[in-house]
Chains A and B, each alone.
Chain A
């Protein structure tokens, strides 16, 4: 009974493992969406991008036996979908929220359509780095299996936060998001900035999808995402458009999601579905706790459609 030996300590450990494992797609999608929204555009289609990324990564990994090539292709597919969204939204009078939902349907539908042959076969997995070598407890070792993409995601979030604050590129992106008039006045091509920001955001989401199909849960099926892409977009608002806070929000969300299975494994079987809702309840509670009647959404880019 190795499982029982940890007792209640298994719950926080499982939450740590969940934070590391489940949060990676959230990190990628929310950091990508953060960049997109800071440039003044909302891309709700990232759910579709996530599914397309997952499907194409799985397909390529299956065909070439190289999971990292799959990740690259997923990023390229995400880039294309992001560029498509940006190009459509650039047309006058086109609503970016509605187009995003349209592209979400298109992306998920296309992923299901093209992904039918990939449901059964088993593609090679992205490996993991063992960070639990110092421990004798198998649960700890398992919890500290860290995928490369998780580390890349953290570095991306930190890098994006730094770049937005300190580089000329970051300034231009923020300017395009804050005020189109000011950006045009100093000669910034707003459309092109948003095109690039949305495309890169899409590429991030594609990589997030590759993580889903190639590492955890590590297979391709149609219920793979089940709304994670949308939730990640919501996390950006929750994180007040700050990449570092996106990272924390994703980790928190992943940890909360692991509560329910962890409690089950230590014998708490009542209210299974209730605990499954823990991440959403937690997000709602934190949103309510952090809101205030005096100030509206702090940190929101001025040109963002949802805030206007």
Chain B
């Protein structure tokens, strides 16, 4: 899929099958130079001839890829925080589906039912923060996803507990929701309520 052609070519199906068995998959980077070395390394392991050299399953492969990217390209990683958050979610889904709690733990730092509950509620809050405007939901959601994803980074780089980012989100939400009262003509509004009360 990366190179646009199959790895092995042969005259007959038998020839292709024999090549599959005997030859190593050619290096992706020789066909397409722009493929990152991280991805190439992961592909090499994923297509290894001996089963025990391969990844245990898809989730492990994706995890390894994420790890390679983080190790080789830290700046690209920070730039892609929001996108990676999606991938992280995807890995979690795969890991949950495959009943591999250890992988969920590897992605999130831990596996926790109440944390998963929190994600759904963040969604409701995103809608509130976007003032229920569908177009505004996209940037707000990306921002929030970025903050969530940065939690893992905080944990790895600064040794902060993973809950730090939840606290930050909570404070952020409450502060923004409370500032709703200042929306519009804030001072005259506050003045009015004070007169009324």
Name A's B-contacting residues (CB within 8 A): 48, 51, 88, 91-95, 98-99, 101-113, 116, 191, 222-223, 225-227, 230
CB of A102 within 8 A of CB of B193, answer: no
In the bound assembly, the distance between CA atoms of A34 and B110 in angstroms comes to: 34
In the bound assembly, the distance between CA atoms of A223 and B168 in angstroms comes to: 20
| Leading 6 A-B pairs by shortest Cβ distance | A106-B170, A109-B166, A112-B163, A102-B173, A109-B167, A91-B181
Name B's A-contacting residues (CB within 8 A): 110, 112-115, 117-118, 121-122, 124-125, 128, 161-171, 173-174, 177-178, 180-181, 183, 189-190, 193, 197
A227-B170 contact, Cβ under 8 Å, with A93-B181, A102-B125: no
In the bound assembly, the distance between CA atoms of A108 and B168 in angstroms comes to: 11
Q: Pick the contact of B173: A101, A111, A226, A230 (CB < 8 A).
A: A101
CB of A105 within 8 A of CB of B122, answer: yes
CB of A94 within 8 A of CB of B181, answer: yes
- Residues of B near A51 (CB, < 8 A) are 114
Most buried by A among B168, B169, B173, B177: B177
- Residues of B near A99 (CB, < 8 A) are 174, 177-178
CB of B118 within 8 A of CB of A108, answer: yes
Smallest Cβ-Cβ distance to A221: which chain B residue:
B112
In the bound assembly, the distance between CA atoms of A108 and B174 in angstroms comes to: 14
Q: Pick the contact of A98: B114, B115, B124 (CB < 8 A).
A: B124
A-B contact sample (7 more), CB < 8 A, given A95-B180, A105-B121, A223-B112: A88-B174, A94-B181, A98-B125, A105-B173, A106-B173, A109-B163, A222-B112
B150 → A minimal CB distance (Å): 14
Smallest Cβ-Cβ distance to B190: which chain A residue:
A92
B133 → A minimal CB distance (Å): 15
CB of B193 within 8 A of CB of A92, answer: yes
CB of A113 within 8 A of CB of B128, answer: no
Most buried by B among A88, A102, A227: A102
A102-B180 contact, Cβ under 8 Å, with A112-B161, A222-B110: no
**7 A–B pairs (Cβ distance < 8 Å), ordered by A:** A94-B177, A98-B128, A105-B125, A106-B171, A108-B166, A109-B170, A113-B163
A231 → B minimal CB distance (Å): 11
Smallest Cβ-Cβ distance to A48: which chain B residue:
B170
A108 → B minimal CB distance (Å): 6
In the bound assembly, the distance between CA atoms of A95 and B183 in angstroms comes to: 13
In the bound assembly, the distance between CA atoms of A259 and B110 in angstroms comes to: 28
CB of A102 within 8 A of CB of B174, answer: yes
Smallest Cβ-Cβ distance to B162: which chain A residue:
A112
Majority DSSP secondary structure for residues of B touching A: helix
CB of B170 within 8 A of CB of A222, answer: no
- Residues of B near A102 (CB, < 8 A) are 125, 170, 173-174, 177
A276 → B minimal CB distance (Å): 12
- Residues of A near B170 (CB, < 8 A) are 48, 102-110
CB of B177 within 8 A of CB of A223, answer: no
Smallest Cβ-Cβ distance to B120: which chain A residue:
A101
A63 → B minimal CB distance (Å): 20
CB of B128 within 8 A of CB of A105, answer: no
CB of B163 within 8 A of CB of A226, answer: no
CB of A88 within 8 A of CB of B118, answer: no
A254 → B minimal CB distance (Å): 18
- Residues of B near A223 (CB, < 8 A) are 112-114
Q: Pick the contact of A93: B110, B112, B164, B183 (CB < 8 A).
A: B183
In the bound assembly, the distance between CA atoms of A226 and B161 in angstroms comes to: 19
CB of B178 within 8 A of CB of A88, answer: yes
Smallest Cβ-Cβ distance to B160: which chain A residue:
A113
In the bound assembly, the distance between CA atoms of A95 and B132 in angstroms comes to: 13
B45 → A minimal CB distance (Å): 33
CB of B177 within 8 A of CB of A113, answer: no
B4 → A minimal CB distance (Å): 44
- Residues of B near A92 (CB, < 8 A) are 181, 189-190, 193
Most buried by B among A98, A110, A223: A98
- Residues of A near B174 (CB, < 8 A) are 88, 99, 102-103, 106
- Residues of A near B110 (CB, < 8 A) are 222
- Residues of A near B112 (CB, < 8 A) are 222-223
Q: Pick the contact of A222: B115, B124, B167, B190 (CB < 8 A).
A: B115
CB of A105 within 8 A of CB of B118, answer: yes
A106-B167 contact, Cβ under 8 Å, with A92-B181, A98-B128, A101-B124: yes
- Residues of B near A108 (CB, < 8 A) are 114, 118, 163, 166, 170
In the bound assembly, the distance between CA atoms of A88 and B171 in angstroms comes to: 12
In the bound assembly, the distance between CA atoms of A226 and B115 in angstroms comes to: 8
A88-B177 contact, Cβ under 8 Å, with A104-B121, A108-B166: yes
